[in-house]
Copies of this chain bind each other. A is one copy, B any other.
Amino acid sequence: MALDERKLEVLRAIVEDYVATQEPVGSKALVERHNLRVSPATVRNDMAVLEEEGYIRQPHTSAGRVPTDAGYRLFVDKLSRVKPLSPAERRAIERFLIGAVDLDDVVHRTVRLLAQLTRQVAVVQYPSLSRASVRHFELVPISTTRLMVVMIAETGRVEQRLVDLPGPILADDVTELRRRVNEKLVGKRLVDTPPLVEALVEEAGPGLRPPMTVLSTVLLETLVERAEERIALAGTANLARGGLLDFQGSLRPILEALEEEVILLKLFGEVEPSMTRVRIGDENEIEDLRSASIVATGYGPGSIVVGGMGVLGPTRMDYPANIATVRAVARYVGDLLGQG
């Protein structure tokens, strides 16, 4: 059966009321709070249909209705208009981020800001090394057979590795290596460098061949492949709000999942450009997070995505507000990265 206009309106009203009050909502209360132009009895009929379709359910016979995960899904996809941020919130974002001194600081502030604005658990992935582009490579001779490779990413992140050379190297050769590496790789995303690094080895003259080979190995193995992804977390205390009504009883599984960086990366790292992804309850693959919802989005300078961020909370969350906030913060941080 197709859901007509009013039934959708009823669903929206149920979701909004339930999110606000945390209590099952009945037909009478609904018509009072929202000005539906019909009687409670009519709403009851609509509710019966919505229940049959799987969008709402009764916790017990003769209690009010509560949205199901499918109900939230429909709400998010079709029924919710994005709430614009209040000017106060916009100001908060600016004020919070404006004093950041370096990349760590930006991430740190961002995650706290998100947690504070949404009152949920916030997660921010550090700008991913592999998706960032290279600003500069520096080669520093430590001894005649050792080099330190320093890579500075466009996002400001700096990584260094030690390289043991097969034999002594001349200062001029180091200079030449540096020139070639920078010429080839600067401006490229790390994830795109492997073929370029291969080419560097090919093109190296016989004298430079051995050191370049070792260097390329280090670049590929430790920078591209093993690029560790880092995660910042804040607002776990928000889980303990709302008594234990959300998350039926125990926070333990949730807290456990939040400690697994692998899980967080899966949830917040797999983001496509300029798309906000919402996972509701059951839609989550992680068993422990079946009673939670996640709002995640990518961020980065311009249309490039260098990492993900988002919030996690009970399925009963204010989706429109959280989506708006996550997007706004992501956008702001992206701009910030573009400048610095």
How many copies of the chain does the oligomer comprise? 2
Q: Find the B residue at minimum CB distance from A228.
A: B104
Give residues 228-254 of A contacting B (CB, 8 Å): 228, 234-237, 239-241, 244, 250-253
Inside 8 A of A136's CB, which chain B residues have their CB?
142
Number of residues in A with C-beta < 8 Å to the partner? 26
Give residues 153-196 of A contacting B (CB, 8 Å): 158, 160
**Interface check A285, CB cutoff 8 A:** no
The one of B140, B252, B259 that contacts A241, using a Cβ cutoff of 8 Å: B252
**Interface check A138, CB cutoff 8 A:** yes
- Are A240 and B259 interface neighbours, CB within 8 A? no
**Interface check A98, CB cutoff 8 A:** no
Inside 8 A of A160's CB, which chain B residues have their CB?
150, 158, 160
**Interface check A4, CB cutoff 8 A:** no
**Interface check A255, CB cutoff 8 A:** yes
Q: A148-B150, A158-B160, A240-B255 are in contact. List 9 more A-B contacts (CB 8 A).
A: A104-B228, A138-B148, A140-B140, A140-B150, A234-B259, A236-B255, A236-B258, A237-B252, A237-B253
Q: Can you show 17 pairs from A to B with CB atoms below 8 A apart?
A: A104-B228, A136-B142, A138-B140, A138-B142, A138-B148, A140-B140, A234-B259, A235-B259, A236-B236, A236-B258, A237-B251, A239-B255, A240-B251, A240-B252, A240-B255, A244-B244, A251-B251
